[in-house]
């Protein structure tokens, strides 16, 4: 009997379109003999189903041509003529969301509340990794190399721009790289080589987020990525890759638009960093284990070869195309292992019981003592 998989994608995110493509790639490669897959599209806080199997459907999405469902008690239900009708009860949710509520822990919390296993890290890991400020603080506490950074909030910047800029300059030196704290795919990122450019790039970044991270920019570095997943028994680490862009950093256009396909960047794999490849792979495995991750996760690094230093940049808990191209395992097998491991990992143990007499002895109107 085939297991039922809810393939969830879309959502309120600037990376929405990338999510659609990832979902279509998954749909084309998942083993249909083992899994019954139901694509579930998130849009404006709603779930839609049926007829969601082609990219063209999402260029101008027409809600009326699809059915709206709600998630209740671990099951997707149709609302028809004022009554709820059973539609699909998944054994697992395969998450193909990038950014927004699909990757920041919101969707994960909803699925956990409904008792549905899912193929991504849990709520806490998702929320922390989505926020570049919080994640960098965690990395520092793990004694990982992190570039010097400062965090700026929109209300403080708008209240006194010069004070915010002076504060940044007191701790960091130019050039700097400015990033929205909770976005991916290089959206809103810019490089500042002087005060004027810093103010300009902060204004751009604040259009996308009300919290921005500013960090010292390495002048001579290589960007290297490495992914990992749990196959149910061991953590499997991918090859490293070194992508190439047209500027100081990999822009959204570099990643997705120049070639017209998701994995069309010019790449070297393994990365051209010699023995540091082993450091990157070992670090990726350690991060995956220490964070108690689930699903396919990609870690992005900045490599300073001259000093022999590996800086962790960020963690992508639901990477584009699920980073399938980094693994020597074929995509179909990769999906099977991730799905089965997620079901196994999320098996819930009975909650411990603890009986008290608080309620039976409670007197109405009496003040409770902590």
Q: Which DSSP string corresponds to 153-209? A: EHHHHHH-HHHHHHHHHHH--SSEEEEETT--TTTT-EEESSHHHHHHHHHHHTTT-
- Name the helix (H) or strand (E) containing 300: strand 297-304
Share of residues in the chain with pLDDT > 70 (%)? 91
* Neighbouring-strand partners of residue 348: none
Lowest mean pLDDT among 251-265, 270-284, 299-313, 320-334: 251-265
Q: Which positions ≥6 away from 285 have C-beta within 8 Å?
A: 228, 235, 237
pTM score, two decimals? 0.88
pLDDT number for residue 304: 94
CATH topology of domain 3-119: Rossmann fold (3.40.50)
Instruction: Return the pLDDT at 258.
Output: 47
Residue-level pLDDT at 340: 97
Give the model's confidence band at 187: pLDDT under 50 very low, under 70 low, under 90 confident, else very high. Answer: confident
Average pLDDT, integer, range 97-103: 94
Rg (CA), the chain: 22
Rounded Cα distance, 167 and 175, in Å = 15
Output the pLDDT for position 33: 96
- SS3 call for 244: strand
Q: What value does the mean pLDDT take over residues 232-245?
A: 93
Specify the CATH class of 220-328 in words: alpha beta
Q: How far apart are CA 22 and CA 11, in angstroms?
A: 13
**pLDDT-based confidence at residue 256 (cuts at 50, 70, 90):** very low
User: Which residues contact residue 116 at a Cβ distance below 8 angstroms, ignoring those fewer than 6 apart?
Assistant: 6, 74, 90, 92, 93
For residue 349, pLDDT over 80 is answered with: no
173, 165 in Cβ contact below 8 A?
no
pLDDT reported for residue 267: 85
pLDDT at 363: 79
Cis amide linkage into residue 9, ω under 30° from 0: no
Taking 80 as the threshold, does the pLDDT of residue 249 lie above it? no
What residue segments make up the domains of the chain, in order of their start?
A: 3-119, 148-216, 220-328
Q: What pLDDT, on a 0 to 100 scale, did the predictor assign at position 268?
A: 92
**DSSP string for 58-117:** GTT--GGGSEEEEEETTEEEEEETTEEEEEE--SEEEE---SGGGTSSHHHHHHHHTT--
**Architecture category of domain 148-216 in CATH:** 2-Layer Sandwich (3.30)
> Which band of pLDDT confidence, cut at 50, 70 and 90, is reported for residue 364?
confident
Q: Among 74-88, 287-301, 312-326, where is mean pLDDT lowest?
A: 74-88
Taking all residues of the chain, what is their mean pLDDT, rounded to a whole number? 91
| Phi-psi domain of 104 (left: phi exceeds 0; alpha: psi -120 through 50; beta: other) | alpha
Indicate whether 201 pLDDT > 80: yes
Per-residue b or e along 8-47, where b marks 16 or more CB atoms closer than 10 Å to that residue's CB: bbbbebbbbbbbbbbbbbbbebbeeeebebbbbbbbeeeb
**Model confidence at 255: pLDDT above 90:** no
Per-residue pLDDT band at 248 (split at 50, 70, 90)? low
Flag whether pLDDT at 173 surpasses 90: yes
* Residue 216 pLDDT: 94
Residue 318 pLDDT level (bands cut at 50, 70, 90): very high
Nearest to 184 by CA among 19, 344, 341: 19
Residue 251: predicted pLDDT:
45
């Amino acid at each position: 009997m085939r297991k039922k998989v809810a393939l969830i994608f879309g959502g309120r995110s600037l990376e929405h379109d990338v999510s659609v493509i990832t979902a279509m790639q998954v749909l084309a490669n998942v083993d249909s003999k083992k899994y019954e897959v139901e694509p579930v599209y998130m849009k404006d806080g709603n779930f839609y189903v049926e007829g969601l199997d082609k990219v063209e459907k999402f260029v101008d999405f027409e809600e009326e041509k699809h059915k709206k469902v709600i998630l209740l008690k671990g099951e997707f239900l149709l609302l028809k003529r004022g009554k709820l009708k059973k539609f699909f009860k998944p054994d697992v949710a395969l998450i193909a969301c990038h950014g927004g509520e699909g990757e920041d822990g919101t969707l994960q919390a909803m699925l956990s509340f409904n008792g549905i296993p899912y193929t991504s890290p849990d709520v806490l890991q998702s929320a922390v990794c989505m926020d570049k400020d919080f994640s960098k603080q965690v990395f520092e506490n793990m004694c990982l190399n992190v570039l010097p950074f400062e965090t700026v909030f929109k209300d403080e910047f708008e209240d006194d721009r010069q004070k915010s800029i002076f504060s940044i300059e007191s701790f960091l030196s130019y050039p700097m790289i400015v990033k929205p704290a909770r976005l991916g795919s290089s959206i809103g990122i810019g490089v500042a080589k002087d005060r004027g450019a810093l103010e300009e790039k902060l204004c751009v970044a604040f259009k996308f987020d009300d919290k921005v991270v500013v960090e010292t920019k390495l002048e001579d570095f290589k960007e290297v990525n490495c992914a990992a997943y749990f196959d149910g028994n061991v953590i499997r680490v991918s090859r490293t890759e070194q992508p190439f862009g047209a500027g100081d950093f990999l822009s959204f256009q570099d990643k997705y638009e120049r070639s017209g396909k998701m994995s069309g960047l010019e790449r070297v794999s393994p990365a051209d960093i010699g023995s540091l490849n082993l450091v990157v792979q070992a670090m990726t495995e350690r991060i995956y284990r220490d964070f108690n991750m689930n699903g396919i996760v990609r870690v992005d690094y900045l490599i300073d070869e001259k000093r022999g230093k590996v800086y962790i940049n960020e963690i992508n808990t639901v990477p584009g195309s699920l980073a399938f191209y980094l693994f020597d395992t074929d995509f179909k097998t990769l999906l099977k292992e991730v799905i089965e491991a997620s079901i196994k990992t999320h098996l819930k143990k009975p909650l411990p019981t603890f009986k008290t007499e608080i309620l039976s002895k409670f007197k109405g109107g009496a003040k409770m003592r902590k």
